[in-house]
Structure 1
Amino acid sequence: GEIIAYTWDFGDGNITTTNSPIITHAYSTYGTFTVTLNVTDSEGKWDTASKQITVEKAPIADFWWTPYYPQRGETVTFDASTSTPDGGEIIIYTWNFGDGNITTTDNPVITHVYDEAGDYTVTLNVTDSEGRWDTETKIITVVPIRYYLTVKTDPQGITTIPGENWYNEGTEVELTAPDTVPVSPGVRYKFSYWDVDGTPRAGNPIKVVMDANHTATAHYILEYYLTVTSPFGTVGGEGWYPSGATAYATLDTGLIDHGNGTRRVFTSWGGDASGTNYAQSNPITMNAPKTAVANWKTQHLLTVVTDPAGLSPQPTRNPPGESGPLNSWWYDAYTSVTLTAQPVSGYNFNYWDVNGVSQGA
């Protein structure tokens, strides 16, 4: 007939029956084992054979590397000295670095450089002097080259601009400087420009490509505020000025007539300003916050007439005042004016009245 059953007793407690003459088995321990095979044919006849097998200890492959997270282009040292033989000595180390490079050497220490970032499966096969071998596989992560971006200001330390850090090579970092940095009332820093490694860069924000270590500096200028105040008219010149700049305070008019016999007349610039020209003060050097104040005076209109009207000569005035409309003169508020009636042919002076109220003879 034909053999239809193969029963294997591997001597380690494992018994398997199969209809195939070929079988595999792995021993979990070292030592000598008696293997017994029982075969049975289609007629029910059987036979048994026994043989001994010796399972010997194999070497154990192991390795480590430094740095643990290497950068692209950085030299990595692989060390297989932690591998152990089975009694002989390890004589061959075959490295598959996972990037297409395979190297065989008799030295447990080897170096390798990865050209690109990524995860690589590294396989080490060790062979000992007795011809036995073992394999170990580990995954190494190669990171991109990292560069440091320094971000600072000029003057130094006036504000903190986000973005200073380590970055993977090729990263594009956007930096935005605040347009102004307050210091105190009337004092601030105004953004001027960026430079990267000493080379000026236009615009804000800017982008820095991390292809090396870089230093980005935001440059600022110191500014002071000029305040211009006036109770009348429209002022000009108020605003921020660079330190040391020259500023001017201005007014659109130096005369405000209220139409009721009262007017306002510009007299001078005060505060941190000087000059008597309402249209433009004397130069103001902006080396601190400053205030320009427009000074005004009040004038009233004095009208002198005779009754009957038109008599000549007119009464005299002391002081004479500033000429106004017919028979009228402007005087500063609270000015005392002496009026003297003059002899008029055919008339005798009777009395004065002011705004219709008799002032006596």
Structure 2
Amino acid sequence: PVSFTVDPAPRGPNLDIYAALYDGSGKLVTSNNGPGLSASLTATVTAGTYYLAIDGVGTGDPVTDGYSDYDSLGQYQITGTVPARVTQSPVASASASPTSGTAPLAVSFSSAGSSDPDGTIVSYQWNFADGSISSSANPAHTYSVGGTYTATLVVTDDDGLSSSKTVTVTVVNPPPTAPGSVKATAASATKVNLTWTASTSPIGISRYEIERSYNNGAYSLIGTATTASFANGSLTPGITYVYRVRAVDTQNVFSPYSNRDLATTILFTDDPLVSGLTKVRAVHFSEMRRAVDAVRASAGLAPAPWTDTNLAGIPITAVHIKEMRNYLSPALVSLGFSAPSYTDPTLTTGVTRIRKVHLDELRQGVK
């Protein structure tokens, strides 16, 4: 409760006091005009703003033994007790949607449900835990990099009091992009060089893993690289090797595998062939047959049943070209590659002239 006592000045008191207590809207709460010159009042009130009014009043008949309120004036003093105002902190409420996902993750934050029991909230402050902040009540924010983020909302009320609430958002990085355009090239009869297009990742690439298969075997890891190239040495001549590559980011997340490519460790005689200068010889076809059989071995197919197993001294005809095409294409398809498109797809013995391009296409097929 609140209580007040209003007394006139102790020297020459000439004020008959009337005290009244009004609430913030001007409504009378209580009043008192004591039996003497002083006035006292007591009231139990809720928290808020109140006004104490002091007035001078008269009493009796001014003509005889009384006095009017016009003559009731003078100084006075007020004593009393007013309980200290008890303020309450606001209540913070924070939520986010979604609370998990893959970067870049757009998140909507909400302060819905935040309140102040004895006033109003005057400010909102969000800290998204990634170096970004916002003073909006319901902001949106995008997390660009994976991690676990504890976003914090601080609300402050009109009394300067504050409270906070947190909400956790879990963001995972997307896997690196797959290495592109892998190309395997036989540099010698015992070495294959590989190149590819670099992968990308928001957190960076740690390494590339190179895997190899041959003779219809499973893929196995043969090495790693930090740049978009790799040299595979100490190989066996006359073997077709199939390669694939994948990237690994700095958090050890793997990319999808790249495209595959093959290379055969045979160095051809007269490479490149020169139109009008290079004479087509039996050695060219013998080497090509070995290369076709190497591709077939990698595909798990038996060696081809060649016509004229020994080509020495035998004229090269359309049948020899047809055989290599017919035995190579199914092997490439079995390995998951496209069959080559051939010049002069229909070869006729005695009609179609054997040309450099026919041999070049087969060489490209076995790489």
What interval of TM-score do these two structures reach, taking the shorter chain for normalisation?
A: 0.3 to 0.5
Larger radius of gyration: 1
> TM-score when scaled to structure 1?
0.34
Q: Which has the higher helix share?
A: 2
Q: Which has the higher strand share?
A: 1
